Structure 1
Amino acid sequence: MGRELTIHDVEAAVRGGSVFACGGGGWFDHGLEIGKAAITVGKPKLVSIDELPDDAIVVTTTAIGAPAGTNWQMLGKDYIKAVQLLQENFADQVVAVMTPQNGMSSTINGWLPAAALGLVVVDATGDIRAHPTGKMGSLGLASSLDYETIQVVVGGKPEEGSYLELVVKGTPARTSDILRKAADLAGGFIAAARHPLPASYIKKHAAIGGVSKAIDLGKAILAAEDQGSEIILETICQETHGAILGQGIVKKVDVSYHQAFDIGTITIEVENDFLTIHVMNEHMAVEDAQGNRLATFPDVITTISTNTGRPVSVGHLQEGDKISVFHISKEQLPLSSSVKDPSVYPEVEQVLGIQLSNHALKSIRE
């Protein structure tokens, strides 16, 4: 069943996941570290959701917090412990794990627990791109009052008293809010396992094939890497049916940390214009100097170094950087039930002070 994941898949998943990270989605080095640990500990396998029986239980594994946070600690054992604690508090046997999003490290979040605990990795994502809230990757369960979920977080620094292990049960919305607070208390980021669901539900509500899309993109990027940044950018556009909205210089980074979120704006001067990127952990929308909306979540919006061809996260963007603003329209992406759920948008809209849902849901509804 499935295929064994290799070191080449780790490198490709981190490269491709970095594009879908949209400025967030964890950290490049952390992704390599956890991915390499997974293939050292065991032999994780990537499987199609169709390979699992409908009643097989799948758990979402991830990390929660703000990529620019500086005082967090998530060790490999924390990812494993989170899944173990969920297994101990759930009546049925867990068979597989999946990720709620792609990202610099989040594409491979579940690979280590899968390898250590004898589980398989499902080729599906709660959202093809990275997003700021757990509700946006909750497979359409964000507003459900009927589904009692289990969510677990593990992480922090024991020597500083910030280490936490927390198991909560309740509605997805309430428990997600608790986990966000736990991430903040643990230093800004924390490992998590959540939402045990049957494979039949994943088939209907996830972005199917999300992991292999990141791996395939990463392989194409690696093949082009020796040819320079322009070829890398061309390759990314060709492989994803995406486009560059503009290229220019970062003029201002006005982003601050607040309760496990990085929030603010990034201004980039492009030819005869300025682009403003609205940030809540990830890039959520892009506007030109006249206020015209050029891209909106769940579109992919990624800042890529014009010099290196590599995506640059929110926490690493600096004034003076030469940046290409890359965009994939949602029409080119597999969309999960999460991003079609109107209830996931008001929280983010209130923080950013802009509209998202009217742009994000318009063509989806049509």
Structure 2
Amino acid sequence: MRQLTLNDVKAAVKGGSIFASGGGGWVDHGLEIGSAAITIGRPKLVSIDELPDDAIIVTATAIGAPAGTTDWQMLGKDYIKAVQLLQERLGRKITGLMTPQNGMSSSINGWLPAAALDLVVVDAVGDIRAHPTGKMGSLGLAGSLDYETIQVVAGGKPETGSYIELVVTGTPAKTSNILRIASDMSGGFIACARHPLPAKFIKENAALGGISRAIELGNAIIKAEKEDTSKVVDAICQTTKGKIIGQGTVIKKEIRYSVGYDIGTITIDTEDGLLTLHVMNEYMAVDNQKGQRVASFPDVITTLEPGTGRPVSVGHVKEGEQLSIFNIAKENLPLSTGVKDSSVYPEVEKVLGIDLAKYALEGHALVR
């Protein structure tokens, strides 16, 4: 157990921005929420081994499209309110909070409500990288008919009538769909608390140490930035065992917003040919011009500025700019039960019109 600091906030946002895979929230939002957390309380990061097996852990997150295409508002108090509402509905003490994914602000998701409500931040994630659906970060429960979950959302603009508080119970699949609609109705981005589970279940199904990994990567980036920004990409690759799989000019960006998702493709012209990045909030796959899969979820796929190594999210990608495509193969990542759950893929495959499950689950070879 250790107390989280402002340096940890900065590092978690830096490292989380790589694991964000083009989505995962906003840097400014992560810094604001993280700074508020260490200002109003003393949030502590704990490993799952430090908690009793029956301690209740809740996932704190945000739901919506990160590309900035909607008029949304979510305040720090919304994260707190969502956890409070879940606590009231559960009727039992919550011990800690975890995040379903790393990201620009996602890595910080639980820090503010943990500080405000005297809970701990658990060093575990539902997925080491960011992903589009709540089902992917649901620790293998997405298709379960036996687990009755509680899911809560809070957020929106009261002045426009879009503020929503919603508590739902039921199967993870059905309640997740309801929350996605609520996010869209609130403006496209909303705070969420969900899935109260015992620590023993988290230990057996989560990607453990996910927050520490983001902080470690962030510290490596910060150190490289102080020495020479040209060393940042090397620092990212060395720390993660990742690599650059292509670099070139963005020649086409076709992204549309639909019910809480940013969907489409980004095409980059590299010296080895065209690479197409498939987007559903985050980068889910990369195909070459022969239609061969180069990288695929649950790989980390992130676009970087070639000179500085700064991550460029989907919403900030512009046609005509130079970008590098960074990849961490799934073999070099801790994988949760959630990304090994076959039930989470059909929905995303239908939207994108590509195969994902066969690469994620069956180990099909990629063109590396």
- Specify the TM-score bucket, using the shorter chain as the normaliser: over 0.9
Matching residue of 1:245: 245
The one-letter code matched in structure 1 to 2:325 is V
SS at match of 1:345: helix
SS at match of 2:363: helix
Q: Is the 8 A contact 2:5 2:38 kept in 1?
A: yes
CA distance in structure 2 between the aligned counterparts of 1:267 and 1:332, rounded to whole angstroms: 26
CA distance in structure 2 between the aligned counterparts of 1:296 and 1:362, rounded to whole angstroms: 12
The one-letter code matched in structure 2 to 1:74 is M
Q: Is the 8 A contact 1:228 1:309 kept in 2?
A: no
Q: Is the 8 A contact 1:5 1:44 kept in 2?
A: yes
Q: Is the 8 A contact 2:249 2:268 kept in 1?
A: yes
Q: Is the 8 A contact 1:266 1:277 kept in 2?
A: yes
Q: How does 1:208-357 map to 2 (within 5 A)?
A: 208-357=208-357
Which deviations, in whole Å up to 9, do the C-alpha atoms of 1:272-304 show, x marking residues without a partner?
A: 301100000000000111111000000000001
1:91 is displaced (CA, Å) by 2.5
1:336 is displaced (CA, Å) by 0.2
The one-letter code matched in structure 1 to 2:175 is T
The one-letter code matched in structure 2 to 1:124 is A
SS at match of 2:95: strand
Residue 83 to residue 262, structure 1, CA distance change in 2 (3 Å): same
Q: Is the 8 A contact 1:102 1:210 kept in 2?
A: yes
The answer to whether the aligner puts 1:19 opposite 2:18 as a matched pair is: yes
CA distance in structure 1 between the aligned counterparts of 2:360 and 2:266, rounded to whole angstroms: 21
1:320 is displaced (CA, Å) by 1.4
CA distance in structure 1 between the aligned counterparts of 2:5 and 2:75, rounded to whole angstroms: 21
Which deviations, in whole Å up to 9, do the C-alpha atoms of 1:70-100 show, x marking residues without a partner?
A: 3111100000000000000002210000000
Q: Is the 8 A contact 1:307 1:322 kept in 2?
A: no
SS at match of 1:355: coil
Q: How does 1:23-102 map to 2 (within 5 A)?
A: 23-68=22-67, 69-102=69-102
Which deviations, in whole Å up to 9, do the C-alpha atoms of 1:191-210 show, x marking residues without a partner?
A: 00000000000000000000
1:229 is displaced (CA, Å) by 4.0
CA distance in structure 1 between the aligned counterparts of 2:355 and 2:156, rounded to whole angstroms: 35
SS at match of 1:343: helix
Q: Is the 8 A contact 1:229 1:306 kept in 2?
A: no
The one-letter code matched in structure 1 to 2:274 is F
Which deviations, in whole Å up to 9, do the C-alpha atoms of 1:214-254 show, x marking residues without a partner?
A: 00000000000134443100000000000100111111110
Q: Is the 8 A contact 2:233 2:308 kept in 1?
A: no
Q: How does 1:155-194 map to 2 (within 5 A)?
A: 155-194=155-194
Q: Is the 8 A contact 1:247 1:324 kept in 2?
A: yes
Residue 45 to residue 263, structure 1, CA distance change in 2 (3 Å): same
Identity %: 69
1:101 is displaced (CA, Å) by 0.1
CA distance in structure 1 between the aligned counterparts of 2:186 and 2:8, rounded to whole angstroms: 30
Q: Is the 8 A contact 2:72 2:189 kept in 1?
A: yes
My pick for the range that moved more, 322-331 or 229-238, is 229-238
The one-letter code matched in structure 2 to 1:176 is S
CA distance in structure 2 between the aligned counterparts of 1:226 and 1:292, rounded to whole angstroms: 39
Q: Which runs of 4+ in 1 moved over 6 A?
A: none
CA distance in structure 1 between the aligned counterparts of 2:77 and 2:218, rounded to whole angstroms: 26
Matching residue of 1:358: 358
CA distance in structure 2 between the aligned counterparts of 1:131 and 1:35, rounded to whole angstroms: 21
My pick for the range that moved more, 129-138 or 306-315, is 306-315
Which deviations, in whole Å up to 9, do the C-alpha atoms of 1:123-162 show, x marking residues without a partner?
A: 0000000000000000000000000000000000000000
Aligned length: 363
1:322 is displaced (CA, Å) by 1.2
Q: List runs of 5+ in structure 1 lacking aligned partners.
A: none
Matching residue of 1:6: 5
TM-score, normalised by the number of residues in structure 1:
0.98
Matching residue of 1:154: 154
